[in-house]
Amino acid sequence: MKKLRVLHIYRTYFPETQGGLQESIRQLCLATQPFDVDNTIFALARQPEPAFMDLPEGKLVRARSWLEVASCDFGAWAALRRCRAAADQCDIIQIHYPWPFADMLLPFIRSHNQPVVVTYVSDIVRQKGLGQLYAPLRRYLLGTASHIVASSPNYAVHSEILREYTSKLSCIPHCLGDAPTPPAASISRWEAQFGRDFFLFVGVLRYYKGLDFLIAAARQVKANIVIVGDGPEGEQLRQVVAQDGLDNVHFLGALPDDDKFSLLSLCLGVVFPSHLRSEAFGITLLEGARASKPLICCEIGTGTTWINRHNETGLTIPPADPEALARAMNLLASDDVLCARLGQGARGRWQQHFTPAVVGTAYRRLYDDLLPEGALAAPDRH
C-alpha cells in the first residue's frame, strides 16, 4: 500500500475552535493513518500563530481570518499562499463543505490537477438568501469535484442539492474511536452530584440544537437533565431556566474530555433534540452509542436517524415537539430493561458502521479509486 497525502480544507480547527465538524475531521485523519495516509489540515484562525502545528492527526496549517460574514471566514494573500503550498505536497484535496472561501481558493491551489473530494457536511439552511447568491460558486465546486461524500444515506436522499450529483456521490459516515476509561475520581465526583438517573446533552449551544424544546420538555420530566457545552444561545437558555425555576436542568459549560466521558458513563441516556437540518449528523450521538447508552433524537432527514434507529438504538421523535420529547425521556427513565436493550443496540451499531477501521478502509478505497493506479499525483518535495 503506497503512502497517500491528503489535504483537508475547512474554515476553522482545533485548538482555536471546538465543534462536531472539527472533531469529525480529526477522527477521519486518525482513522486513515493506519492505511498509509498522511493528513494535512488547512484552516483560518483569528490568532494563527504558530502557522504550522504538528498534531497527532496530522499537520495543521493556518492563516489569519480577516473577516467573517454569515459564519463564513475569509482570508487574504497569506491564506492563498499557505493553502497552495500545502496542496502542492498532497495527492488528494478534500474540501469540507460548506465554506465558500475554500471554493474560491480551489482554482488557485490545484496546481497539478489533483482529485478533489467534497465532504458534503450540510445544506445551507439558515442563510437561504445568501445561499442563492452562493449557488454559482457551489455549482462550480460540486461540478469540479471528482467525488462527493455524504455522511449518511438519509442526507443524500433528502438534500435537493445532492440529487443533482448522484453519479459521483457515495456515503461514508463520520467515525469515532473508542474512548479511554475516565479516572475513577472523576466518575465518583460526578456521581455524587448527579447520580446515575440523568439525561445528558453534549454540544455547542446553537440555534438548531433544539434546546429550547428540551427545556420546555423538562417541565414534564422528573429526571435531571445535564447540559455540557457552551455557545451563542447559552445565556438566553440559562435565563429561561432561571425564570421558570427549573431545578432539574443543569448547565455545566464546556468540560475536559475526562469529565465528559465520566458523565457519559453515568447517564441514563443521551438526548439530542436538534430540530433543523443544520444538524447533519450528530457526533454526540456516536459518543452515546459508543458508551452503550440509549439515544433520543428527532427525525429531520439527516444522519441523526442514521445513527439512531427507532426502537433499536434509542427513540426517535418529531422535531420541535416538547411533549413527544418528554414522553420519550419518561419512558426510558421508567424502564431499565428497555434502556439496557437500546444501549446494547447502540453500541453494536457503532461497532458495525462508525468505527475508525470501517471508515478508514472506505476512505482509503475511495482515494485509491480516484488516483491513477500505481501513481501518486503530487511530487515528493521533502
Quick: pLDDT tens for 162-201.
Answer: 999 999 999 999 999 999 999 999 999 999 999 999 999 9
C-alpha 47/C-alpha 70 separation (Å) is: 20
One DSSP character per residue, 170-216 reads EE-----PPPPPPPHHHHHHHHHHHTT-EEEEES---GGG-HHHHHH
Q: Which CATH superfamily is domain 184-353 in?
A: Glycogen Phosphorylase B; (3.40.50.2000)
What is the rounded average pLDDT of the residues 324-352?
98
How buried is residue 341: exposed, middle or buried, by Cβ count under 10 Å (0-12/13-18/19+)? middle
Closest CA to 173 of 227, 117, 119, 96: 119
What is the rounded average pLDDT of the residues 290-300?
98
What is the rounded average pLDDT of the residues 109-122?
94
What is the rounded average pLDDT of the residues 211-229?
97
| Mean pLDDT (the chain, rounded) | 94
Closest CA to 267 of 246, 250, 245: 250
Do the first three CATH levels of 4-175+355-370 and 184-353 match, i.e. the same topology?
yes
Closest CA to 27 of 230, 290, 348: 290
Neighbours of 259 (CB within 10 A): 18
Lowest mean pLDDT among 79-83, 126-130, 345-349: 126-130
Cis peptide before 50 (omega within 30 of 0): yes
pLDDT tens readout for residues 116-146: 999 999 887 665 555 567 889 999 999 999 9
Instruction: Quote the pLDDT of residue 378.
Output: 52
What is the rounded average pLDDT of the residues 80-95?
98
What is the rounded average pLDDT of the residues 333-362?
98
Residue 157, pLDDT above cutoff 60: yes
Percent of the chain with pLDDT over 70: 95
C-alpha cell at 270: 443521551
What is the rounded average pLDDT of the residues 295-316?
97
Opening angle at CA 285, ends 10 and 283, nearest 5: 10
Residue 94, pLDDT above cutoff 60: yes
C-alpha cell at 350: 457503532
Lowest mean pLDDT among 41-55, 133-147, 189-203, 208-222: 133-147
How buried is residue 177: exposed, middle or buried, by Cβ count under 10 Å (0-12/13-18/19+)? middle
C-alpha cell at 43: 484552516
C-alpha 263/C-alpha 228 separation (Å) is: 9
Reported as a pLDDT band with limits 50, 70 and 90, residue 298 is very high
Reported as a pLDDT band with limits 50, 70 and 90, residue 65 is very high
Residue 227, pLDDT above cutoff 70: yes
Closest CA to 362 of 120, 35, 26, 9: 35
C-alpha atoms less than 13 angstroms from C-alpha of 2 in its C-beta half-sphere? 15
CATH topology of domain 4-175+355-370: Rossmann fold (3.40.50)
C-alpha 75/C-alpha 108 separation (Å) is: 14
* Helix 283-290 and helix 257-266, axial crossing angle in degrees, nearest 10: 60
Residue count (the chain): 382
pLDDT tens readout for residues 355-379: 999 999 999 999 999 997 655 655 5
Residue 90, pLDDT above cutoff 60: yes
For residue 258, what are the CA distances in angstroms to 184, 186, 333? 10, 7, 25
Instruction: Show me where the domains of the chain are located.
Output: 4-175+355-370, 184-353
How buried is residue 199: exposed, middle or buried, by Cβ count under 10 Å (0-12/13-18/19+)? buried
pLDDT tens readout for residues 232-280: 999 999 999 999 999 999 999 999 999 999 999 999 999 999 999 889 9
Residue 84, pLDDT above cutoff 60: yes
